[in-house]
């Protein structure tokens, strides 16, 4: 019985191959066996009709031994032996993750065993750029672009390349300082806030001209501030200096209650009611009759709305003001007498 003498293996993929041999059997029946472990174990296909078969369910990048015999009239020919190797399964990288700051990003993915390298195609604000790495992670500098997009694919043996991953993206956000608070102790005013920027720019006015300073810390102290000073400030985050990636300003103000001028008389005090108010404000000045005083209404930005002066010995110690025509918000009643200042906060709603 004639044995098979020629075999062609075509359409080899990572999981399949087509076998085509010469028609040696007069009955066109053959027995085929193949092994992926050097002949220790075999998969047998008996009494196959035809000189062609497609093998599927194979392992990638694996060498298979093949044995074929002709079968006819109860006889079996000599064995024809051959081998072939499936190609590497060059799959798209999976489980892609990013970790980034304002200046750089690290992109990582699952390692593909057998891949020779990986390619990352990215657009971080300056058009698409391609870079290769032999590792399953890469760190790339950022240019301050808010929206950043990239793709990853594997480079495999024999010139194979996987498909690109789906588009990946991440967004940078330079958040403005939040939870701003101001404290006043003696002649020092301290402003602190929450944030994670590289540094912060503070613009402030504390009784003099405007000042501009930078701070790497999320707080800043102003010294030698007099009592009753309206401290006005603006703070912004600087997330990436080279690209001018900055936040909007957070604004606020604070009127000091201690400082270079002290209330040194416990009787220098007054009452304001009702507080909060819908318009009418009463000020009780009974303890201040012996002083020359100046009464003023100031908003949170230091703007004065009215000023009233009273000489010592004034008779009417209970004053009434109508604020109903003013914008709703926070105001301060400030009373000054020589080296003494007393300020009280009121809420108009």
Structural domains in the chain, sorted by start: 7-85 (2.60.40.10), 97-171 (2.60.40.10), 178-255 (2.60.40.10), 271-348 (2.60.40.1930)
* Structure token digits, residue 93: 């990288």
Q: Quick one: what percent of the chain has pLDDT higher than 70? A: 95
pLDDT at 267: 58
Q: Which of 310, 318, 314, 316 is CA-nearest to residue 280?
A: 318
Rounded to an integer, what distance in angstroms lies between the CA atom of residue 192 and that of residue 106? 31
The mean per-residue pLDDT over the stretch 296-318 comes to 82
- Asked if residue 326 has pLDDT above 70, the reply is yes
Phi, psi angle pair for 320, to nearest 5°: -125, 130
Question: Can you tell me whether residue 279 is helix, strand or coil?
Answer: coil
Q: What is the pTM of this model?
A: 0.51
Q: What is the DSSP letter of 239?
A: E
Q: What is the DSSP letter of 159?
A: G
pLDDT at 245: 82
Q: Quick one: what percent of the chain has pLDDT higher than 90? A: 61
Task: Look at the alpha carbons of 189, 194, 199, 204 in this order and tell me if their dihedral is positive or negative.
Answer: negative
The mean per-residue pLDDT over the stretch 132-149 comes to 92
Q: What is the pLDDT of residues 146-199, one digit of tens each?
A: 889 999 999 998 888 999 999 999 988 889 999 999 998 878 899 999 998 889
pLDDT at 264: 40
Q: What is the pLDDT of residues 255-281, one digit of tens each?
A: 887 654 434 444 567 889 999 999 999
The mean per-residue pLDDT over the stretch 34-60 comes to 96
Which residues, 6+ apart, have CB-to-CB distance to 334 below 8 Å? 228, 255, 295, 296, 297, 298, 341, 342, 343
The mean per-residue pLDDT over the stretch 220-244 comes to 86
Banded pLDDT at 290 (limits 50, 70, 90): confident
**Range with lowest mean pLDDT among 25-39, 95-109, 130-144, 248-262:** 248-262
Banded pLDDT at 144 (limits 50, 70, 90): confident
Banded pLDDT at 339 (limits 50, 70, 90): low
Rounded to an integer, what distance in angstroms lies between the CA atom of residue 207 and that of residue 229? 6
Q: What is the pLDDT of residues 60-92, one digit of tens each?
A: 889 999 999 999 999 999 999 999 999 888 999
């Amino acid at each position: 019985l004639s044995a098979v003498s020629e075999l062609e293996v075509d359409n080899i993929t990572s999981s399949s191959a087509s076998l085509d041999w010469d028609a040696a059997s007069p009955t066109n029946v053959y027995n085929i066996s193949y092994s992926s472990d050097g002949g220790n174990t075999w998969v047998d296909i008996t009494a196959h009709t035809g000189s062609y078969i497609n093998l599927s369910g194979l392992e990638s990048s694996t060498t298979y031994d093949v044995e074929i015999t002709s079968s006819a009239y109860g006889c079996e020919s000599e064995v024809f032996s051959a081998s072939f190797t499936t190609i590497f399964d060059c799959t798209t990288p999976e489980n892609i993750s990013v970790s980034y700051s304002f200046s750089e990003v690290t992109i990582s993915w699952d390692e593909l065993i057998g891949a020779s390298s990986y390619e990352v195609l990215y657009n971080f604000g300056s058009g698409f750029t391609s870079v290769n790495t032999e590792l399953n992670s890469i760190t790339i500098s950022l240019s301050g672009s808010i929206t950043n997009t990239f793709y990853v694919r594997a480079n495999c043996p024999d010139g194979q390349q996987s498909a690109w991953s789906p588009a990946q993206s991440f967004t940078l956000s330079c958040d403005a300082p939040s939870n701003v608070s101001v404290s006043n102790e003696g002649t020092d005013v301290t402003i602190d806030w929450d944030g994670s920027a590289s540094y912060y720019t503070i613009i402030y006015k504390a009784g003099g001209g405007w000042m501009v300073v930078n701070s790497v810390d999320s707080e800043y102290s102003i010294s030698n501030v007099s009592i009753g000073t309206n401290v006005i400030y603006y703070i912004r985050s600087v997330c990436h200096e080279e690209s001018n990636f900055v936040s909007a300003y957070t604004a606020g103000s604070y009127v000091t209650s201690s400082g270079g001028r002290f209330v040194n008389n416990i009787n220098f005090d007054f009452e304001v009611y009702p507080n909060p108010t819908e318009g009418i404000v009463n000020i009780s000045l009974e303890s201040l009759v012996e002083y020359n005083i100046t009464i003023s209404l100031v908003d949170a930005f230091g703007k004065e709305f009215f000023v009233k002066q009273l000489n010592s010995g004034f008779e009417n110690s209970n004053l009434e003001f109508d604020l109903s025509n003013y914008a709703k918000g926070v105001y301060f009643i400030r009373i000054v007498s020589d080296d003494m200042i007393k300020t009280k906060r009121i809420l108009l709603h």
